[in-house]
Amino acid sequence: MNGVSREPFGDLTNTPRADSKELKRQRDRARSASLTEEQKSERNKRRREAYRRKKGITAENESIVTENEHAVQ
């Protein structure tokens, strides 16, 4: 081949294959790591609000719930 040698590919058996779910996790981790502190706190605020809506806890009930939790303990 014209005196030019090519490098072999090497050992291809040890390459990790990431499935689509793992690739999505990696993208999500990278995205969340690149958020500013303000963006992270805003995201957490929305998550807490969604949790409260899902559980049926309103802002008024929240203080009552925490008072009852302390009274039970």
With H, G, I as helix, E, B as strand and everything else as coil, classify residue 45: helix
Residue 57: both structure tokens together: 């806890």
- Indicate if the pLDDT at residue 52 is higher than 90: yes
The residue with greater pLDDT, 26 or 2, is: 26
| pLDDT for position 72 | 55
The model's pTM? 0.49
- Indicate if the pLDDT at residue 40 is higher than 90: yes
- Indicate if the pLDDT at residue 4 is higher than 90: no
For residues 58 and 52, the answer to whether their CB atoms sit within 8 Å is yes
- Indicate if the pLDDT at residue 62 is higher than 80: no
The residue with greater pLDDT, 28 or 63, is: 28
